[in-house]
Structure 1
Amino acid sequence: MAIIAPLNQEIGEIKKEKKYASTARFWHWINFIVMAGSLLTVLINSLLFDRTQRTFVKVELMNAGATVNDKQAAAVTHGLEDQVWGIHIYFGYALAALFLFRLIAEFFLPAGQKLLHKLKKAYRAYFILKKEREMAKHELVVKGLYLIFYLLLLTMVVTGLLLAFEDYTNIPENLNHSIKEFHGFCMYLILGFIVLHLAGVFLAERQGGKGIVSDMINGGDDK
């Protein structure tokens, strides 16, 4: 009984903790903007400046009166692609700075709002107390997904910085190519998380969790 009482209190705290700290809200929305911008640069390069667009560039320049061969058209396309990747790199720097900010801010959050604290409470509630299991299971899954997201974000930041500073790292070309491939793979995983996150918010808003979006804007009620 001495163990169950504190655990019951913890379950109650899971229900009450709905207020989001200003630092968490700031990070959430700025991180969303930065990630959206970063993904947009990838989309632009994938659609507008891939190899299939070289013919288009060549034809358009020739229609404008220029004499252009395939090599020159490829150089123009590659130059435009590099410009977009330059913007992508700046978004990457911003993402790295935001990740560091989030990591530092985590230490200053109230104990009840820390991710690992919430994950630990949900774990104990589900596996030890074995009551309120549906709510504890939901909390455990959601916070577990957030933890995976942060690990993916860390991987994106580290691999992105390695690619941005490849001229200084002396990493072998074959390994650098593998890092680039893994960086791109993690991007797809993060996209998957974003889709799950948006779907979860949409379903919650339609069911019993109304006000999630507004809570993330104004902080929510401290219940």
Structure 2
Amino acid sequence: MRHFSPSFRVWHWLNAIAMFGLFITVVLRESVMHKANIGSIVQTKMAELGTIITDEQAVMIGKAVRSPMWDWHIYLGIAVAVLLVARLAMVFKNGFGFDDNAAMQKVYRLYKAVYVLLAVMSISGLALYLKLAGDAKESIETVHQYVGWALFAFIAVHIVGVVLAEKSDQSGLVSRMINGK
């Protein structure tokens, strides 16, 4: 049975919180907090008050309204980047800590791929935030979005895997990830 070090458990849960927050900001941005949705509401309410604003002005207001929420996306993205660097430092110091169990090697390869995706997402996000993308901005945004959705899909698969493990001979995984026992 695999033992999880305290540092790994803290890293895992901090990363989980940050990724959950990122997911929420993306879903909100693409749905109820979409600039066009907010702009439309503002435009309608302003018209009811007798003030007409253009579609462009409404979208500009929509962006301003959701800006504080998007700031959280940036903060959480930076947290994920810092956590990834911390995890890589743990790996260089202690190794990945994966069992030699042949049946688990495919799972562990998937986790290594996730670290690569986290790196791509962090680097692309930082490039966009620091405005280093230049002419490649749209391409980098696309990569960032696809990698983000791939990571969210991994998280869903990860949660299903944990539930299945709890119902198998690997039960106790959640307890070991929380308290180490």
TM-score normalised to structure 1 length: 0.74
The one-letter amino acid of 1:83's match is P
Unaligned runs of 5+ in 1: 1-15, 123-135
- Cα distance between partner residues in 2 of 1:75 and 1:102: 39
Equivalent residue for 2:115?
A: 150
1:118 and 2:98 correspond = yes
Shift in Å at residue 66 of structure 1? 5.6
Q: Judging changes above 3 Å, is the alpha-carbon distance between structure 1 residues 61 and 142 closer, same or farther for their aligned structure 2 residues?
A: same
Q: Number of paired residues?
A: 179
1:172 and 2:158 correspond = no
1:85 and 2:65 correspond = no
Unaligned runs of 5+ in 2: none
- Cα distance between partner residues in 2 of 1:205 and 1:212: 6
Q: Judging changes above 3 Å, is the alpha-carbon distance between structure 1 residues 66 and 142 closer, same or farther for their aligned structure 2 residues?
A: farther
- Give 3-state SS (helix, strand or coil) of 1:118's partner: coil
Q: Which has the higher contact order (CA 8 A, sep 6+)?
A: 1
Deviations 1:70-111 (A, max 9, x none): 2332221021233322221111111111111111122333xx
1:19 and 2:6 correspond = no
- Cα distance between partner residues in 2 of 1:141 and 1:152: 17
- Cα distance between partner residues in 2 of 1:213 and 1:161: 32
- Cα distance between partner residues in 2 of 1:37 and 1:52: 21
- Give 3-state SS (helix, strand or coil) of 2:30's partner: helix
- Give 3-state SS (helix, strand or coil) of 1:67's partner: coil
Equivalent residue for 1:183?
A: 144
1:218 and 2:163 correspond = no
- Cα distance between partner residues in 2 of 1:88 and 1:19: 32
- Cα distance between partner residues in 2 of 1:51 and 1:186: 25
Equivalent residue for 2:58?
A: 73
2:166·2:172 contact (CA, 8 Å) conserved in 1? Answer: yes
Instruction: Please give the root-mean-square deviation of Cα atoms over the aligned residues, in Å.
Output: 1.8
Q: 1:40 aligns with which of 24, 35, 45?
A: 24
Equivalent residue for 2:88?
A: 103
1:49·1:80 contact (CA, 8 Å) conserved in 2? Answer: no
TM-score normalised to structure 2 length: 0.90
Q: Judging changes above 3 Å, is the alpha-carbon distance between structure 1 residues 66 and 49 closer, same or farther for their aligned structure 2 residues?
A: farther
Deviations 1:151-183 (A, max 9, x none): 1001111111100101xx3x433x111001100
Equivalent residue for 1:6?
A: none
Q: Judging changes above 3 Å, is the alpha-carbon distance between structure 1 residues 53 and 206 closer, same or farther for their aligned structure 2 residues?
A: same
2:23·2:152 contact (CA, 8 Å) conserved in 1? Answer: no
